[in-house]
Amino acid sequence: MDVINLKYGCNPHQINAKVSMEGKLPIKVLNGNPGYINLLDAVNSYQLVSELDKSLDLPSAASFKHLSPAGAAVAFPLNEKEKAMYFTTQELSPLASAYVRARGTDRMSSFGDFVALSRECDESTAKCLNREVSDGVIAPSYSKEALEILKNKRKGTYNVIQIDKHYKPSAIEKRSVYGITFEQERNAALFDRSYLEEIVTKNKKLSEEQIINLIVATIALKYTQSNSVCYAKRGQTIGVGAGQQSRIHCTRLAGEKADHWSLRQHPKVLNLPFVPKLSRNDKDNVIEQYLSEDRETDLFDKEISAKYFTHPIEELTKEEKKEFIATIDDVVISSDAFFPFSDNIERAYKSGVRAIVQPGGSMRDKDVIHCCDDHNLVMAFSHLRLFHH
């Protein structure tokens, strides 16, 4: 029996935590001392990026927090707006661009994340990782330069996990809850282009980029705690709504995050006059409050504003936000189960959604399709439910 003893379980008082299996474990700790949640995030997130890479043949990355992705992405080069909103100036390898995008989906939620990479971690990606607050990374291998950088992160305590890329898990998975063993067949379905062939709307045209985005969103959902809905654009998730009991609440939550991602590209945000050497995390916090509709205090009064900005700034009004969001399009949305009502479509459309994939199978499918047709949206039925618990 191969065993790795862990720092502790879900909480520090839950001692005697470990991972083990008959035969050789497919993971190896190269640095650090991971905890129970760290390894759950590592194993789940690696499955996500591995499947993205298999489906699209593109380097992939994910940023995980508490068993759901804060963000996931494939390797698309960053445009100038994206470089600015992600605070990136260096040249990026394809894998590094995937990581920066995954982290950029929801930078607030990614604070203290666990990162997964589908291919060997190179020096470019390690340098990007080194700048962020993160608990650890899992990848099939690391270049010598990358490993040296990561071993020195967080005063030498950063968790670096290597996984055997050739490992094939058992077809049956088990877990113990309250002393009871649960068993099921592993969800081995690989979501690819074939699941987008049944288009049920009048509009039948899916662009190549929309196809990629729908695959990214759906594979991300496969490893998101259900119920879940995901918005995607430009090869990355831009809003993940996880663990809600109501489908519309998933759609609203993910839509708010997608709107926030879009608003980070507003000229007023991109041109905020931050004081020199303000940390990336402080910038994220300031932008979060700048865009918030319900902040409790006025962060931007003269006294406080001077701590963050070189000169006074203008507010971004509700009207300006609404006008800017109205210009956004070519966003896609995926749902891990059917949309039961057309209210989900109406909400998604407000965030620029133009293409949809969902399993279908609701009693009100016709109503949902009719709503899509009213907005000239493309919708495919995958007939693949992807609940994850």
135/7 same-domain check: yes
Stretch 212-226: mean pLDDT = 97
Is residue 290 within 8 Å of residue 271, measured between CB atoms? no
Range of the structural domain that residue 34 is part of: 2-168
Verify that 148 and 277 share a domain, yes or no. Answer: no
Q: Where residue 303 falls among pLDDT bands split at 50, 70, 90?
A: low
What CATH number has the domain bearing residue 69? 3.40.140.20
Residue 387: inside a domain, yes or no? no
Asked if the structure places residue 320 within a domain, the reply is: no
Q: Using the predicted structure, report yes or no on whether residue 285 has a pLDDT greater than 80.
A: yes
Decide if 24 is inside a domain.
yes
Report the percentage of the chain scoring pLDDT > 70: 97
pLDDT at 356 over 90: yes
Lowest pLDDT segment from 64-78, 218-232, 290-304? 290-304
Q: Are residues 221 and 354 in the same domain?
A: yes
Statement to judge: residues 291 and 347 lie in one domain: no
**Domain shared by 80 and 150, yes or no:** yes
Q: What is the pLDDT of residue 307?
A: 85
| Contact indicator for 98, 56 with CB cutoff of 8 Å | no
Same domain membership, residue 231 and residue 182: yes
Tell which wins on pLDDT, 289 or 29. Answer: 29
Check whether residue 301 and residue 195 sit in a common domain.
no
Distance between CA atoms of residues 211 and 235, nearest Å: 10
Domain co-membership, 259 together with 273: no
Mean pLDDT taken over the chain: 94
Could you count the other beta carbons within 10 Å of the beta carbon of residue 176?
A: 8
pLDDT score recorded for residue 289: 87
Are 282 and 333 in the same domain? Answer: no
Residue 301 has pLDDT above 80, yes or no: no
Is residue 213 in some structural domain? yes
Among 256, 261, 249, which Cα is nearest to 343's? 249
Determine the average pLDDT of the residues in 59-83: 96
**pLDDT, mean of residues 223-227:** 95
Please report which confidence band the pLDDT of residue 194 belongs to, taking 50, 70 and 90 as the band edges. Answer: very high
Question: Once rounded to an integer, what is the mean pLDDT over residues 320-344?
Answer: 96
**Residue of 242, 235, 311, 19 lying closest to 138 (CA atoms):** 19
Is the predicted pLDDT of residue 82 greater than 90, yes or no?
Answer: yes
Q: How many domains does the chain have?
A: 3
- Residue pLDDT, tens place only, 126-182: 999 999 999 999 999 999 999 999 999 999 999 999 999 999 999 999 999 999 999
Regarding whether 116 and 193 lie in a shared domain, the answer is no
Looking at the predicted structure, is the pLDDT value of residue 297 above 60?
Answer: no
Q: Does residue 198 share a domain with residue 82?
A: no
Active site residues: 65-66, 227, 389
- Report helix, strand or coil for 322: helix
Structure tokens at 112: 């203290």
